[in-house]
Amino acid sequence: MTFDVNQIRSQFPILSRQVNGKPLVYLDSGASAQKPDCVINAMSDFMSTSYANVHRGLHTLSNEATNAFEDARKATENFINANEGEVVFTKGATEALNLLAYTLGQSLVPGDEIVITELEHHANIVPWQMLAMRSGAVVKWAKINDDGALNLEHFKSLLSEKTKIVSFAHISNVLGTRLPIKEMANMAHEIGAKVIIDGSQGIVHEKVDVKDIDCDFYVFSSHKLYGPSGIGVLYGKFAELNKLPPFLGGGEMIETVTQEGVTFNEPPFRFEAGTPPITEAVGLKSAIDWISAQDRDAIHAHEKELLIAATEAIRKNNRVKILGETIDKAAILSFVVDGVHPHDISQILDKYGVAIRAGHHCAQPLMTRMGVNASARASFAAYNTLQEVEIFAKSLEKAIEFLT
C-alpha cells in the first residue's frame, strides 16, 4: 500500500479552510485530531436515519441503534485485540482513569503504594492523588532522565510488596517519549501490582495489542484517534473487570433493583450507567475502520519524517531548546524559546495560519522536572506535510524576530 498524504488530506474537509487569510496548518493533533469525511458522515447518517436509545427498546430504531453501538464495541475489541466483554465505553480517557481509581481504590489501605511516572498527564496523576487522600495510600514517582527517557532502574526500585497499582503513559503527550510498556508491565506483575496504561497518545502512533502487552487495563480517547470527542475506551481483562464494583449507579448497570437492594450487571455494562454516547460510538467505529484501512507502518514512517524535518529546522536557531530527545520518539515536538513566552509564540503563529499548543499541556510536574513553566508543542498526524513543516519553521523564525 502506497502512502499518499494528499489523498489522506482530501478526506479531511477542515484542512481546506483558511485562518487569518492563510492556509490552515494544523499541528495540534496531540490535543485533538481532525476528523475525516467518513466519521462526519457516519454520525450524520446515523442521527438522520437510525437514532434511538439502545439496549432496552423493542422497536426498529432502537434495535438498529443497539446494533450500531455494539458493532462499535466489537470493532474496538478487534482493533486492540481484546476479548468480548473487555471494552467499556466511557466519555474519555480521563473518566476511564477516574473509574479505575475509584473502583480499584476501594481495596487500598493506608501504606499501600501507587507508582506513576514524571511523564504523566494530569489525568493519570490527579485521580491517584485523590485516591491517596481518601485511602491513606502513597503515590510514588518514577524519575525520567534529562533526555526525557524513563529511568527504568529507578522505576524498578520503587516496586515492592506495598505496590498495588502501577499506572503510566504509553507515549508522553509532551515529550513524545515511548515507554517500555511491556517490560514495565512485567516488572509490576512480578510483585503482584495491577497495571494500567494511559494509551491516549499510544493508540494513535502505534498498533496496540493488549494481549501482547499483557496489561490489566488500557485506556484511550476517541478524539485523538480521528474520531469524535465525548467517548473513550477502558479495556480491562474480563477477570479484572468482573472483580470491580460499579463506578456510577443508574440504568443499564443493574441486573435487578428492589426496595431491599440491587444486583449489578456483568461487565462491560456494569460500568455504563445511563444513556451511553451512542452517536459518538458510531463515529469511533468509523474512525477505527478508517485508520485500520491505512498502512499504519507508512503513517509511522511519514510522521517520523515530519518530526525529523521539524526538529532539524527549529534547532538551527540557538535560542530554541527542544524538550525530549529520545530515540524513536513519537511525532510530538515540544520546545521553548529563550526569553519568549510560549503563549506569545502560539498567538503569532496563528497569524500565519499555524495552530500549535502552548502551556503546561496538563503535565505540570513534567514541566517542573524539565525546568520550565510552559512550552510550545507541535504535534504531527497522518495528514500533515513537509510543506507545512517548512511553513511552521519559517513562521516560528518570524515570531522569534518579532518578539525579541
Identify the CATH number of the domain defined by range 41-292: 3.40.640.10
Numbered ranges of CATH 3.40.640.10 in the chain = 41-292
User: What residues contact residue 94 under an 8 Å CB cut-off, 6+ apart?
Assistant: 123, 221, 232
Whole-number pLDDT of residue 235: 99
Whole-number pLDDT of residue 319: 96
User: Using one digit for the tens of pLDDT, what is the confidence trace for 123-136?
Assistant: 999 999 999 999 99
- For residue 184, give the amino acid letter: M
Residue 217: name the closest of 98, 55, 390 by CA.
98
Q: Is the pLDDT of residue 318 over 60?
A: yes
Residues 248-256, mean pLDDT to the nearest whole number:
95
Q: Is the pLDDT of residue 184 over 80?
A: yes
Residue 56: pLDDT band (50, 70, 90) is confident
Q: Is the pLDDT of residue 113 over 70?
A: yes
User: Using one digit for the tens of pLDDT, what is the confidence trace for 259-297?
Assistant: 999 999 999 999 999 999 999 999 999 999 999 999 999
Could you give the C-alpha distances from 7 to 13, 205, 277, 296, 392, in angstroms and in order? 12, 19, 30, 15, 22
Pairing of strands 254-257, 262-264: antiparallel
Residues 85-90, mean pLDDT to the nearest whole number:
98
Q: Which residues are catalytic?
A: 362
User: Using one digit for the tens of pLDDT, what is the confidence trace for 357-382?
Assistant: 999 999 999 999 999 999 999 999 99
What is the Cα gyration radius of the chain? 22
Whole-number pLDDT of residue 3: 87
Pick 5-31+295-403's CATH classification: 3.40.220.10, 3.40.50.300, 2.30.330.10, 3.90.1150.10.
Answer: 3.90.1150.10
| φ, ψ for residue 344, nearest 5 deg | -65, -40
Numbered ranges of CATH 3.90.1150.10 in the chain = 5-31+295-403
Whole-number pLDDT of residue 404: 87
Q: Is the pLDDT of residue 1 over 60?
A: no
- pTM value surpassing 0.75: yes
Q: Is the pLDDT of residue 236 over 60?
A: yes
Residues 15-24, mean pLDDT to the nearest whole number:
98
